[in-house]
Amino acid sequence: MLPYGRQEVTEEDIAAVVRVLKSDFLTQGPEVPHFEKAVAERCGARHAVATNSGTAALHVACLALGLGPGDILWTTPITFVASANCGLYCGAEVDFVDIDPVTRNISPDAFAEKLQTAEKAGRLPKVLVVVHFAGRSAEMREIAALAKAHGIRIIEDAAHALGGAYEGRPIGCCAWSDITTFSFHPVKIITSAEGGMALTNDAELAERMRLYRTHGITRDAAKLMHDDAPWYYEQQALGMNYRMPDVLAALGRSQLGRLTRYVDARARLAARYDQALADLPLRLPLKDDATHRSAWHLYVVELDDAQGAPSRRSVFEKMRASGIGVQVHYIPVHLQPHYRRLGFGPGLFPAAESYYERAMSLPLFPTMTDADQDQVIDALRGILG
């Protein structure tokens, strides 16, 4: 089966990991700060805090922004569940903003409308988690202006978007947000096996995220409140153990060297899909333009019933039967049983639900050959043509 995504681990990556395995530090050594610095520099942000998953990065980001019981977090329904769960972890309420059917990202119009209603009801969110779906930046200029006008903090969940750019600046620079988070899960743009990172330009937020990453414990002499003994440390907040091991930071840093090559390879394959599928009854993803340079984590087509496409289910099953590992990203979060139990259900976010009915992700990864891709194209043409 040709998978929808596949990591590449080189001999160089393996050597980097082995070097750490033979060193004194498996965790909390020099590799984590090296990796943090490398990602921060690549993205143009001042501070970076590595964690043991992208989900952990979202959680410490929410905690650092002070999200807690009585607060509200908004995000998009078309995302992985972690973008919403981070709000629930903090005891906050979660709600969703519908997508724009063309960009598949949070719709600035839907956001503006929902803000009006929420303001009247005195139920404005404290935090908005903006997801750059499939690697293409959301409309940050419009979204950030609306959020700022209402005192809402922004976390960019850029799990799909490392290596992408918006208005000519790398995603992760935090020009439009308080914090940007990444994931280094193997299907994402680069991998550290499991891992994540939170970037910010705010020194205080960075310090708080570091505290929450390590049990809420500090050894910083300037911060200690009750003693100064040489063995002394203090737990000053309720944190977690969300540290990235040094072994994995070495893998991530080694992979980071290939980021540009990876995103270029993904963009080339995406353009090749654009050409080969243009005449089929499909809605294709938006192409890159002067404002948006996607990292092309996913290539999602929508079966267009208006143009006579068969159902997504039948196409999905036939693709799988031909050995093509198509996937669906994502089942809208508000339709998950856990969220239905919180009062959500069908009909609440029509653009997201309509997208979900039709969406199918085609295989896309940097080591995919043209022959691999032709196999996908031929199978799809055979089913739809």
Ligand X SMILES: *Cc1c(COP(=O)(O)O)cnc(C)c1O
188 carries an active-site annotation: yes
CA distances (Å), origin 34, targets 102, 204, 357: 39, 20, 43
Q: Is the peptide bond before 330 cis (omega within 30 degrees of 0)?
A: yes
| Binding flag, residue 191, ligand X (CB under 6 A) | no
Contact segment (CB under 6 A) with ligand X among 22-30, 35-43, 78-86, 210-218 equals 78-86
Using DSSP's 3-state secondary structure scheme, residue 130 falls into strand
Q: Identify the active-site residue in 120, 188, 223, 318.
A: 188
Task: Report the residue from 196, 239, 285, 366 that binds ligand X according to the rule CB under 6 A.
Answer: 196
Task: Report the residue from 7, 55, 192, 254 that binds ligand X according to the rule CB under 6 A.
Answer: 55
Rounded to a whole number of angstroms, the minimum distance from the CB of residue 182 to ligand X is 8
| Binding flag, residue 160, ligand X (CB under 6 A) | yes
**Cβ-proximal residues to 335 (8 Å cutoff; 6+ apart), any chain:** 77, 344, 345, 346, 353, 356
| Binding flag, residue 363, ligand X (CB under 6 A) | no
Query: What sign results for the dihedral spanned by CA atoms 179, 190, 186, 292?
Result: positive
Question: 313 has which bridge partners?
Answer: none
And the tokens for 163? 């290596």
Site size toward ligand X (CB under 6 A) is 14
**Cβ-proximal residues to 309 (8 Å cutoff; 6+ apart), any chain:** 280, 281, 282, 303, 315, 384
Rounded to a whole number of angstroms, the minimum distance from the CB of residue 82 to ligand X is 4
Using DSSP's 3-state secondary structure scheme, residue 356 falls into helix
Taking residues 97 to 136 in sequence order and writing x for each that binds ligand X by CB under 6 A, - otherwise, the string is: ----------------------------------x-----
Query: 7 or 79, CB closer to ligand X?
Result: 79
And the tokens for 363? 């295989």
Rounded to a whole number of angstroms, the minimum distance from the CB of residue 98 to ligand X is 17
List residues binding ligand X (CB under 6 A).
53-55, 79-80, 82-83, 131, 157, 159-160, 183, 185, 196
Active site residues: 188
